[in-house]
Structure 1
Amino acid sequence: MKQFKVIGVAALALLLSATMAFAIGAGVGRDGTIVGTKGKAKTVQELIDMYDSTGCIDCHEDAHDDWAASPHARSIYGTGRAAATMITAMKNGFMSWEYSGVKSTKDIKVEHWMGCMKCHLPQLADATDEVAVELADTLNEWYANAKKALKNPDDKKAIAIRDKHQKTLTSLNINCLVCHNRMAITHKWTDGYPQHDTVYGFNDGEHEDETFTKMKRSLIMDESIFCGQCHGMGPNLELENPTQCATAYGSYMWAYRAEGGQESCQECHMEKSGLGHKILSYSDETMQKMAIDFKVESYVSQWLDGSTLKPKAVVKVKMVNRSGHSIPDG
């Protein structure tokens, strides 16, 4: 009897391991990723903690300060406008689509969000559907109380709730670990999966950190394809309901590289601009000057309208796009 119990337990363990392997998908090493070792986040806070990069600050303070001033540090919230746009995408998008299966926020799943979050929060794919619901409720509560606080600046309760949710939303972002771990390898079947104890950049070796003890070179860290994972090719045709959004990488590939352009996104937006990890674009004066030649010529004269002499102004405007992609874009 004891022997049968042992065999039964072993068979169950084998079945569970096979089921788990199937659940996390194909590919050797996927189980060593951050989500592979920790399991999917079940709450928004768990997702924040899963990709918490505050441990990077001690050694990389300058890079962190630059990043903190970047749009990537507020990839969901933005200035508040991005968060409001997420709500619009939810209410006027998948909550209004007949076959989405969403009638209220409790019906929302991770895949419903990915039209936005594929770029604004790619690590949402490492969370359960409960997190998708919580994110929707957080956005709605933030917006409702932000409106109350705007209408009545003395409404302390509304201000407190608004600020609480704003803190949560700004903690969901594209940070060090998203870039230097999760998104650091594109060709995972040839180059391997990003491992939970490794940071990826330009060097191989040991890394002085209790959690991320190794450094490995990422083959794409200084290549435009790294940025192209989010600033994409155009329609996200892999989604159940494709969206046409960011096309910067597609424009870069077909209108710039195809014509012989050689510079990468990182060379312009980080190195030549001197912006480092701020990685700004149209909001930065330096990037504006790098991207566009803007010339204006004007002169005044007079012209005869019948028997009446009238003043005339002639203005010639010449704008040349010197960036590596169409403008505006994202």
Structure 2
Amino acid sequence: MEKITWETLGYESFFQTQTIGKETPVGRITKAGKGFYTIQTPEKAFSGQLSGKYRFEAEVQGDYPCVGDWVLFQPQVGEDKAVIHQRLERRTLLTRHAAGNTYQEQVMAANIDDVWIVSSMDQDFNLRRIERYLMQVYESGAVPIIVLTKADLASDPDRQTAEVEQIAPGVSVYPVDTLQGVGFDSLIEKFTPGMTIALIGSSGVGKSSLINRLVGKTVQKTQEVRAEDHKGKHTTTHREMFLVPGGPLILDTPGMRELQLWGEADGVHSTFYDIEAYSSQCKFRDCSHGSEPGCTVQQAIKDGRLTEERLKNYWKMQREIERLDLKAKYGTHKANRILHRPNSKK
């Protein structure tokens, strides 16, 4: 079994300075679900629950600990149980919009270095979905990496890889065949002890299989995708981190059928900075990128440097963030009334 140390847990100076003068132990949340947490230290793991004071003072869902968080806790005498009293400040935070029509953030993972956006290269291959995931990773403060699984089932892996590279300039893209282990060397050579990686993606794209191969044993259940539509089942129902031998901590997350955005306009700008660059060169400052003369965005589409689909997704994600801004400012009900007014610009 791989020896757990403060280094492999990722206990860096950012967190160490927050515990100066604190008398209670510190540990990292490696598993979370339904009010129970696994708190990992180099010596042992504790089953933790929040103190009553913590619960009372928590105002929103994001105040609660999540996988990847560092917490101060009090062990129970003679037991492997503990009470969590405080969460340390986070360095990065991966979130999404909670399901439903309410204005609420759902925290997915904290203190992540790299986020692997996992997408399969079979019939479920979807560039627009990858763009949505990219926006969320940019919002988190972590580094996005795109991993394309099921390369053995791809109709044209070179073309698909090139298409992903085009919509994600500057982002590393790795096609892999998990069953045969092809493409893993390039991923593993970037591993360093103490780093933390989170995997996000739709159900059935192979996140659990990726983790099993990297860890070297079956730590996550996997199921076959349905042959008729290539959709997978939610085999991962909670969030849990695993230690890769000689490398990082790696976190699996439940698959998502649909990713509702959460963030600000800056995340959209980072995801579509090629469109932003073209826009800055348009003849008219208020160019709508339609039929105006001197539109460099439309010229990029004609030249094959940009696709209509990417431009449409850019507009769509901008509108979603605008809706979020309205909900934050006015509340859900009033925002919905504004959005449904005749001739509303929103």
TM over 0.5: no
> TM-score when scaled to structure 2?
0.26
> TM-score when scaled to structure 1?
0.27
Q: Larger Rg: 1 or 2? A: 1
Structure with a larger share of its residues in helix = 1
